Structure 1
Amino acid sequence: MTSLRTAIITGGVSGLGKATAIRLEADGVKVITLDVADGADLVVDVTDADAVQAAATDVGPVDILINSAGIVGPTSPLWETPHDGWRRTFEVNVHGTFHTCRAFVPGMRERGWGRIVNIASMAGKDGNPNMAPYSASKAAVIALTKSLGKELATSGVLANAITPAVIETPMNADTGPEALAHITSLIPMRRVGRPDEVAELIAWLTSDKVSFSTGAVYDISGGRATY
């Protein structure tokens, strides 16, 4: 990968986003973090479509987009899930991904090269109990990526999703202990994943080494994935 390439990483201040930023910088990629947290290169809320579009205009050409910003949302039975918690989970996980793709994809198409990695979750395939908002939102990210990959298939821009099992990140500190114990128990390797392990997969998916895969879903689950 050339040093001329630029990556935008949402949620890039912590967790998978931070690990990916470190990994891509090691490949000579210029990384711009976009996050609501202090310390981001761009302090932007991905749920704000206008702010995301303005950021895209200000930044200029971007070759790589990694959508890592996300929240777990409420961890309770569906019938006890508050309406605002459901909506907020979709606003960040789904609408945020839509907003960034909509803002940055046109420039990639114009230049004829781009890599998009949307971070979904095994929850989007399996449906974790007491995590309906998160599971449903990540299923939506998977479907969005499949559609986008097909739309961009002849453009030189590749869009793929990854579906990690539970990873040791600050985001999971907000997951209820029972829910966390359940999803960890599903991993045959009997451990949670590390952010650097996920970052390695993302680095590959954003490189020239990937050329015949788009609209695909890559599991990184310690053996949990069964399809």
Structure 2
Amino acid sequence: MADRDVMLVTGGSRGIGAAIVRLAGQGRQVAFFYRSSRAEAEACVRAAAAEGVQATPIQADVSDEASLLRGFEAVDKLGTLRVLVNNAGVTGGRSRLEDVTAAQLDEVLRVNVAGAFLCAREAVRRMSPRRGGAGGCIVNISSGAAKSGSPNAWIHYAATKGAMDTMTLGLAREVAAEGIRVNAVRPGVIATDIHADRSPEQFEAMTRMIPQGRMGQPEEVARMVLWLASEQASYVTGGLFDVSGGL
């Protein structure tokens, strides 16, 4: 096994995940999971290289345990996992609760909850001194939806992010004495393709709700994630950090 520290970002080929990979820091070894688009993954690698970051794309579906485990085995070949950013997520489609289907629920629960739990499990197995590790850091990408509930749109998605917040709090306390820090970042309205189906009127209405008067950028979320993953945050664990322009 290579003797090098590795950061793993799940769902790292686009949006917030790609911004985290690109801004990870010169000389850093970063691996990222992507589910299907090789073209997006390769574009992310090129963007990271332009910033001096060596990024390795790994095809892995966090909603499938066998695929996820193969992904972690690939990470092990790169070096020692020291940082996990649990970013992979889906909305399950915009819907009022009365119209949510079992298939929608199954998808958001498998990706956003089961996937996050299983990735955290694999990270702890590699980081914990109980298993020969030397500590590390987990940053979960939650959502401001966990606070608002996202009525008339994504209650099902919001509930999965609430589960991620609870996992963050519990796991942080469970592994703190093992040198593993666990925090969550809760983005607000961020300019990614998650909002691509909204009309100009809907965008304007969203912006009016934000105290800072604008949508956030993926890079603004990435900088918070990377701070939490750094030694500057060495005494920070069990925190839920809003990056939301005041919402």
Q: Do they superpose with TM above 0.5?
A: yes
Cα deviation for residue 172 of structure 1 reads 2.6
d(CA) in 2 for partners of 1:62, 1:197: 24
Equivalent residue letter for 1:121? S
Q: Find 2:210's aligned residue among 187, 191, 207.
A: 187
d(CA) in 2 for partners of 1:27, 1:138: 31
d(CA) in 1 for partners of 2:168, 2:202: 26
Cα deviation for residue 123 of structure 1 reads 0.4
Asked whether the equivalents of residues 72 and 174 of structure 1 are also in contact (C-alpha less than 8 Å), the reply is: no
Equivalent residue letter for 1:21? V
The alignment status of 1:126 with 2:148, answered yes or no, reads yes
Q: Percent identity?
A: 35
- Secondary structure of the structure 2 residue equivalent to 1:209: helix
Q: How many residues align?
A: 221
Equivalent residue letter for 1:84? A
Partner of 2:138: 116
Equivalent residue letter for 1:16? I
Cα deviation for residue 184 of structure 1 reads 3.9
Cα deviation for residue 66 of structure 1 reads 0.5
Partner of 1:96: 115
Cα deviation for residue 182 of structure 1 reads 5.3
Equivalent residue letter for 2:218? P
Q: 1:181 to 1:79 in 2, by over 3 A?
A: farther
Asked whether the equivalents of residues 74 and 86 of structure 1 are also in contact (C-alpha less than 8 Å), the reply is: no
Identify the range of structure 1 (189-198 vs 46-55) with the bigger mean alpha-carbon deviation: 46-55
The alignment status of 1:166 with 2:189, answered yes or no, reads yes
Partner of 2:66: 50
d(CA) in 2 for partners of 1:36, 1:52: 10
Which TM-score applies when normalising by structure 2?
0.83
Which TM-score applies when normalising by structure 1?
0.90
d(CA) in 2 for partners of 1:84, 1:180: 28
Q: Cα deviations across residues 19-71 of structure 1 (Å, max 9, x unaligned)?
A: 000111x2432111101033341111100112212222332121110011111
Q: Cα deviations across residues 84-113 of structure 1 (Å, max 9, x unaligned)?
A: 112211111111101111112111113222
- Secondary structure of the structure 1 residue equivalent to 2:184: strand
Q: 1:177 to 1:88 in 2, by over 3 A?
A: farther
Q: 1:93 to 1:140 in 2, by over 3 A?
A: same
RMSD between aligned alpha carbons?
1.9
1:138-153 correspondence to structure 2 within 5 Å: 138-153=161-176
Equivalent residue letter for 1:31? V
Residue segments in structure 1 that go unaligned for 5+ positions in a row: none
Residue segments in structure 2 that go unaligned for 5+ positions in a row: 42-56
